[in-house]
Chain A
Amino acid sequence: MKTRRIILCALLATALLSAAAGAKTQQQRPVQPCEERGSQAEASGCAHREYQAADAELNKAYNRLAAILDADEKALLKTSELAWIKYRDADCTFESSQYAGGTMRPMIESFCLTRVTKARTAELNEQYELRSDK
């Protein structure tokens, strides 16, 4: 009986440990296509260009939405956009500060800027749809 209990405990411990290990692996950052370039400088350049493209998309979404707003609403949109820019910069400064002093830092910052910018573009498109449906 005692042996069976020990075996049970061991099995339980193994299951818990492997579950914890699995959770840890899932929390890691997936490698981005830009990182499959040869050098870190190339990867950083690629990440920066990706961000520029995302920023261009954001500008399109912003202008499309602004075009259907009256003057008062446009002023509100501008206020939100300025608030968003401050948030974006603080968010990506924070994220890339984890890599401060390392060669990966600029790339990590670009990945963050791209991601946050894409989320903002989706948000502006959502607002455009809401207003078109009204």
Chain B
Amino acid sequence: MKTFLTTVAVILLLAPFGPGSRGQTAEDPCHPDAQRSTQLMACAERKFKEAAAELKRARDELHADLEPRSRVKFRAAERLWLRYRKSNCETEASIYEGGTIQPLIELRCMARLTLARADELKTQTQTLHGTN
């Protein structure tokens, strides 16, 4: 028991220095002063990964509550959304065609749409559960 408590205490003490706090250092690519294109790209990649994780959470929560019949319809919507996201972000980045900034604009667009889709799925989970 004592060993267990010690372990918990050590974990709690170490937690603030874990991966979550790296963002505070000067190395943070998402720091407002970060301007190098490699930093901006690294920041966009991180934001996209965070958005994708958020979407996955919302998706799993909704999917778990669906009947098999609805899952088919849900997956159809999901596939069409992926196509829409790709098409939309290619369109958005097209003004920077050939420029070094093009992949950055596209990735930022992907992150933005992914977050919007996560919100959409959260709302759909509410709809599924009805009103009070």
Q: Give which listed residue, A31, A72, A87, contacts B81 with CB less than 8 A.
A: A87
Instruction: Tell whether, in the assembled complex, residue B94 and residue A94 are in contact, meaning their CB atoms are under 8 Å apart.
Output: no
Given the known A-B contacts A27-B125, A93-B73, are A127 and B92 also in contact in the complex, defined by CB atoms under 8 Å? Answer: yes
A27 to B128, CA, bound (A): 9
Instruction: Tell whether, in the assembled complex, residue B94 and residue A76 are in contact, meaning their CB atoms are under 8 Å apart.
Output: yes
Instruction: Tell whether, in the assembled complex, residue A90 and residue B76 are in contact, meaning their CB atoms are under 8 Å apart.
Output: yes
**Nearest chain B CB to A19 CB, angstrom units:** 16
Interface residues of chain B: helix, strand, loop or mixed (majority)? helix
Interface residues of chain A: helix, strand, loop or mixed (majority)? helix
A115 to B119, CA, bound (A): 11
Q: Give which listed residue, B80, B126, B132, contacts A83 with CB less than 8 A.
A: B80
Instruction: Tell whether, in the assembled complex, residue A80 and residue B129 are in contact, meaning their CB atoms are under 8 Å apart.
Output: no
**Nearest chain A CB to B60 CB, angstrom units:** 14
**Nearest chain A CB to B91 CB, angstrom units:** 4
Instruction: Tell whether, in the assembled complex, residue A28 and residue B92 are in contact, meaning their CB atoms are under 8 Å apart.
Output: no
Instruction: Tell whether, in the assembled complex, residue A73 and residue B91 are in contact, meaning their CB atoms are under 8 Å apart.
Output: yes
Asked if B35 CB lies within 8 Å of chain A CBs, one says: no
Asked if B9 CB lies within 8 Å of chain A CBs, one says: no
Asked if A2 CB lies within 8 Å of chain B CBs, one says: no
Instruction: Tell whether, in the assembled complex, residue A28 and residue B132 are in contact, meaning their CB atoms are under 8 Å apart.
Output: yes
Instruction: Tell whether, in the assembled complex, residue B126 and residue A87 are in contact, meaning their CB atoms are under 8 Å apart.
Output: no
Interface residues of A (CB under 8 A from B): 24-25, 27-31, 35, 72-73, 76-77, 79-80, 83-84, 86-87, 90-91, 93-95, 97-98, 108, 111-112, 115-116, 119, 123, 126-127, 130-131, 134
Interface residues of B (CB under 8 A from A): 69-70, 73-74, 76-77, 80-81, 83-84, 87-88, 90-92, 94-95, 105, 112-113, 116, 119-120, 123-132
11 of the cross-chain contacts (CB-CB < 8 Å) are A27-B125, A28-B126, A73-B91, A76-B87, A91-B77, A91-B80, A108-B127, A115-B123, A119-B120, A123-B116, A127-B92
Given contacts A27-B129, A91-B81, 19 further A-B contacts (CB under 8 A): A24-B129, A27-B126, A28-B132, A31-B131, A31-B132, A73-B94, A76-B91, A76-B94, A80-B84, A83-B84, A91-B77, A91-B80, A94-B73, A94-B74, A112-B124, A112-B127, A116-B120, A123-B116, A130-B92
